[in-house]
């Protein structure tokens, strides 16, 4: 029944927002537990470990040293560094640290996605010379890696998984409040999205680093992921082919988080641009494939891609709600007629989940102080999302400068 003229728009909008909220709310709580897993502990699979690096002389040496120390037979993995359009001594440092360095110069194709595509072609050519790998493990130059990473990926590969994402942890979660809130956001997403979806049979999403992909997938379907968010592009391209991304909770990669709000803003704006780009290109195909294959995982991927659209609709609804408070009612607010217990559960849940996860990751007291600023980090997404939508067709790559030089032992002593 329509009570006000604007109900024809506002009531469907509120129903959509409610369904999205409940969907993410229910899935999020599925990440509060883990399935028991019997693991393969015999190293069998051979890896090409690939590090993408653009002017990373501050950090690349520590990562390569760390990779040499992984708890995995040295004859079963090789370390490659793509020195991509570097104007510093990244290549020399990586070579001195014991990596196989592949230098690439291309002023037209500048993103990480293009660099990986170039490197994969080189690996395919190596097979003709007898150098054969089962899978690639991909890292950013600012990362550090848990010693068991390849062993955990070997376990997943032995169980038949073909695309795998490792746990995205923070290398510097206590440096600044920006790095701290960024780390909390990643810990939350690791649990309420990736782990949760894996627990109920849905697909995780690649996170740009700590990724493992079998060579047979790359050869059969190609990489062809060269937008601003190449990880998301490849995830959705593979999902449309019926290949889900598996989550390896114990395969941990430590990623350097931005130190300043400006760095954080720039990085997140690029992610927003890329997600809008991928959503607009892939959702139509994924909707068709989801129906053709009767695969709910593909439809869930569509919902994941629609998250920034959901935030834009939420912002619009909040703005209209404040306008209604100032004037006479002009639409029916269905949120006000929902059961109070449900609304209370939603309100408590959005604050309780990050607190539960801080306990689960055994975060220091400092993270609990950063939690007070976490809403600022979350709500700052709103302007970023709108800017990302406006600039969704701008594909210019912006490089994040990494300066936090730590080796693995130093990082662990700080945590």
Q: What is the pLDDT of residues 250-298, one digit of tens each?
A: 999 999 999 999 999 999 999 999 999 999 999 999 999 999 999 999 9
Q: Give the tens place of pLDDT for each residue, 204-245.
A: 999 999 999 999 999 999 998 988 899 999 999 999 999 999
pLDDT mean over 354-369: 92
- Comparing C-alpha atoms, which of 146, 164, 168 is closest to residue 155? 164
pLDDT at 190 over 60: yes
Domains detected in the chain = 1-34+41-393 (3.90.550.10)
Which position has the higher pLDDT, 170 or 1? 170
> Partners of 213 in the beta sheet?
136, 163
User: Which pLDDT score, from 0 to 100, does residue 397 have?
Assistant: 66
Which position has the higher pLDDT, 168 or 110? 168
Considering the chain, what percentage of its residues have pLDDT values greater than 70?
Answer: 95
User: Which pLDDT score, from 0 to 100, does residue 36 have?
Assistant: 86
CB atoms within 10 A of CB 284: 11
pLDDT bucket at 310, cuts 50 / 70 / 90: very high
User: Which pLDDT score, from 0 to 100, does residue 346 have?
Assistant: 67
Average pLDDT, the chain: 90
Q: Measure the CA–CA gap between 3 and 394, rounded to whole angstroms.
A: 43
User: Which pLDDT score, from 0 to 100, does residue 339 have?
Assistant: 66
- Comparing C-alpha atoms, which of 357, 296, 373, 37 is closest to residue 168? 357
pLDDT mean over 165-183: 95
Of 34-38, 79-83, 194-198, 207-211, the poorest mean pLDDT is in: 34-38
Collect all residues with Cβ–Cβ distance below 8 Å to 302 and sequence separation of at least 6.
283, 286, 287, 290
Query: Residue 222 to residues 57, 156, 263: CA-CA distances in angstroms?
Result: 30, 21, 32
Residue whose token pair is 């047979």:
216
pLDDT bucket at 335, cuts 50 / 70 / 90: confident
pLDDT at 79 over 90: yes
Task: Give the count of alpha carbons within 13 A of 113, CB side only.
Answer: 22
Is-contact 187 355, C-beta < 8 A?
A: no
Q: Measure the CA–CA gap between 245 and 241, rounded to whole angstroms.
A: 12
3-state secondary structure the chain: CCCCCCHHHHHHHHHHHHHHHHHHHHHHHHHHCCCCCCCCCCCCCCEEEEEEECCCCCCHHHHHHHHHCCCCCHHHEEEEEEEECCCCCHHHHHHHCCCEEEEECCCCCCCHHHHHHHHHHHHHHHHCCCCCCCEEEEEECCCEECCCHHHHHHHHHHCCCCEEEEEEEECCCCCCHHHHHHHHHHHHHHHHHHHHHHHCCCCECCCCCCEEEEHHHHHHHCCCCCCCCHHHHHHHHHHHCCCCEEEEEEEEEEECCCCCHHHHHHHHHHHHHHHHHHHHHHHHHHHHHHHHHCCHHHHHHHHHHCHHHHHHHHHHHHHHHHHHHHCCCCCCCHHHHCCHHHHHHHHHHHHHHHHHHHHHCCCCHHHHHHHHHHHHHHHCHHHHHHHHHHCCCCCCCCCCCCCCCCCHHHHHHHC
pTM score, two decimals?
0.91
User: Which pLDDT score, from 0 to 100, does residue 11 have?
Assistant: 86
End-to-end CA distance of the chain: 57
Q: Which two tokens stand for residue 14?
A: 């509120």
Q: Which two tokens stand for residue 205?
A: 């999403």
pLDDT at 118 over 90: yes
Of 142-156, 216-230, 343-357, 371-385, the poorest mean pLDDT is in: 343-357
User: Which pLDDT score, from 0 to 100, does residue 342 have?
Assistant: 63
């Amino acid at each position: 029944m329509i009570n006000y003229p604007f109900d024809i728009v506002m009531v469907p909008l509120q129903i959509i927002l409610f369904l999205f909220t409940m969907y993410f709310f229910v899935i999020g709580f599925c990440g509060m537990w883990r399935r028991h897993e019997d693991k393969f502990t015999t190293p069998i699979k051979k890896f090409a470990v690939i590090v993408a690096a653009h002017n990373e002389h501050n950090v690349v040496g520590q990562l390569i040293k760390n990779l040499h120390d992984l708890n995995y037979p040295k004859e079963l993995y090789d370390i490659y560094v793509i020195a991509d359009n570097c104007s510093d001594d990244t290549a020399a440092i990586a070579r001195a640290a014991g990596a196989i360095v592949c230098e690439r110069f291309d002023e037209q194709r500048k993103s990480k996605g293009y660099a990986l595509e170039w490197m994969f072609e080189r690996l395919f050519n190596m097979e003709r010379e007898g150098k054969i790998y089962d899978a690639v493990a991909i890292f950013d130059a600012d990362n550090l890696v848990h010693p068991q990473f390849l062993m955990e990926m070997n376990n997943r590969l032995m169980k038949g998984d073909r695309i795998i994402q490792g746990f995205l942890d923070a290398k510097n979660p206590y440096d600044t409040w920006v790095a701290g809130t960024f780390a909390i956001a990643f810990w939350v997403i690791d649990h309420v999205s990736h782990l949760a979806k894996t627990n109920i049979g849905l697909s995780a999403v690649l996170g740009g680093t700590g990724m493992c992909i079998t060579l047979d997938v790359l050869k059969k379907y190609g990489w062809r992921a060269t937008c601003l968010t190449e990880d998301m592009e490849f995830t959705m391209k593979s999902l449309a082919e019926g290949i889900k991304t598996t989550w390896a909770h114990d395969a941990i990669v430590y990623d350097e988080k931005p130190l300043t709000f400006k760095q954080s803003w720039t990085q997140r704006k690029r992610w927003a641009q890329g997600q809008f780009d991928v959503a607009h290109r892939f959702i139509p195909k994924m909707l068709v494939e989801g129906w053709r294959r009767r695969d709910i995982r593909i439809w869930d991927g569509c919902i994941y891609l629609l998250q920034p659209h959901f935030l834009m609709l939420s912002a619009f609804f909040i703005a209209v709600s404040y306008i209604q408070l100032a004037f006479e009612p002009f639409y029916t607010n269905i949120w006000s007629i929902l059961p109070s217990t449900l609304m209370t559960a939603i309100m408590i849940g959005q604050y309780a989940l990050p607190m539960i996860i801080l306990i689960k990751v055994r975060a220091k007291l400092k993270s609990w102080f950063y939690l007070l600023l976490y809403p600022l980090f979350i709500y700052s997404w709103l302007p970023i999302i709108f800017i990302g939508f406006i600039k969704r067709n701008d594909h210019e790559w912006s490089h994040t400068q990494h300066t936090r030089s730590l080796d693995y032992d130093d990082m662990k002593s700080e945590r």
